[in-house]
Amino acid sequence: MGNYRFILSGGGTGGHIYPAIAIANELKRRHPDAEFLFVGAEGRMEMEKVPQAGYEIEGLWITGLQRKLTLKNLMFPFKVISSLLKANKIAKRFKPHAVIGTGGFASGPMLRVASGKGIPCVLQEQNSFAGITNKLLKDRVAKICVAYDGMEKFFPADKIVKTGNPVRGDLVVLRQDKSEALEYFGLAGHKPILLILGGSLGARRINELIATKLDFLLAQGVQIVWQCGKLYIDKYKKYESDQVKVFDFLNRMDLAYIAADMMISRSGAGAVSELCIVGKPVVFIPSPNVAEDHQTMNAKALVDEEAAIMLRESELDEKFEKTFAELCANSQMQKDLSVNIRKMALPDATKHIVDEIEKLLN
């Protein structure tokens, strides 16, 4: 067989982009001469993040449907037609041996076209509640790689393979030595570090919570690494001090995870998969503004195994201080959460997904 050509499509958020990059990296490791092309949505973060990872990307003129009647929705049929035509041109020109979709509206047109041409397609569904694009594509693809049990309610059982979610390679073997991480963040070594993650775009409610509870948090004896998101950095950078470090985006997630003793995080699928591997105590605050409330379902899957704590946004005013103070004071609880969350990890997910892709190539 000559050089393989792979198209990876998905995007809109880091939760769809980073899995696609991880899969591409593993394919490249196995097939150094392969060619890769990413297909995303114009103007979304993949157009910046994918080239930073060393891959070529083409953008489609596509957006998701808004929940209320807007001008954008009236344009939607034209965007779909435009994206299908461009996806068709891309498939004809690039001639991929396989197409991998990681979800998000950007992947719909590309996989629709590729599957129609008989090109083997694989879906990767990160969440415990399947996304709309993947549900629409389920009958057209050869394999669907999932991270949770019970996904037969969304997809044909004979296509499902439970692989887990791809995570960045540098997280699978995290060093125990904190010295480089402490130096990177400019923090002291004698106080525990709380890492706050709001997802790649930031989380408004978590940022508001941290800003109003800063004095309380510092009184618990913690230092803080706070990733507030690029939409919010101008508002929250003023809270930076010797004990509080504020970032729009964390380019060294590996060091952030090494530094952290406990975390507060959204529960997007990618974050949950990474945090299982990192194996530290987490308080999940799911976003209520996502399709089908899937972040709550993702977090609940861990809470049911006593592997994490979950607070809904509606409970924060009433329960946050008591919950967090108890976590800080109870070292046995911290140990138990760490042990249990590690049991949920699927660190070889990327390899298993690529195994499934390779089966289709032969």
- How many residues in total does the chain contain? 362
103 is in an annotated binding site: no
Question: Alpha helix locations (H) across the chain?
Answer: 14-30, 46-52, 71-94, 107-116, 132-137, 169-172, 179-185, 204-219, 233-236, 253-259, 269-278, 294-303, 316-329, 331-343, 349-361
108 is in an annotated binding site: no
133 is in an annotated binding site: no
**CB neighbourhood size of 136 (10 A):** 12
What sign does the CA torsion over 311, 313, 314, 317 have?
positive
3-class DSSP state of 217: helix
13 is in an annotated binding site: yes
Give 231's strand partners.
Answer: none
Does residue 92 contact residue 80 with C-beta atoms inside 8 Å? Answer: no
Largest separation between any pair of C-alpha atoms in the chain: 63
CA distance linking residue 64 with residue 133, whole number of Å: 10
Does residue 39 contact residue 28 with C-beta atoms inside 8 Å? Answer: no
Burial code (b: 16+ CB inside 10 Å, e: under 16) for 222-248 equals bbbbbbbbeebbeebeebeeebbbbbb
Structure tokens at 303: 């809470």
Amino acid, res. 54: G
14 is in an annotated binding site: yes
**CB neighbourhood size of 314 (10 A):** 10
Please enumerate, as own/partner, the contacts of 50-57 that have beta carbons within 8 Å and a separation of 24 or more: 50/17, 50/20, 50/21, 53/21, 53/24, 53/25, 55/8, 55/21, 55/24
Structure tokens at 107: 């992947």
Cite the annotated binding site by residue number: 13-15, 127, 168, 200, 295
Cite the annotated binding site for UDP-N-acetyl-alpha-D-glucosamine by residue number: 13-15, 127, 168, 200, 295
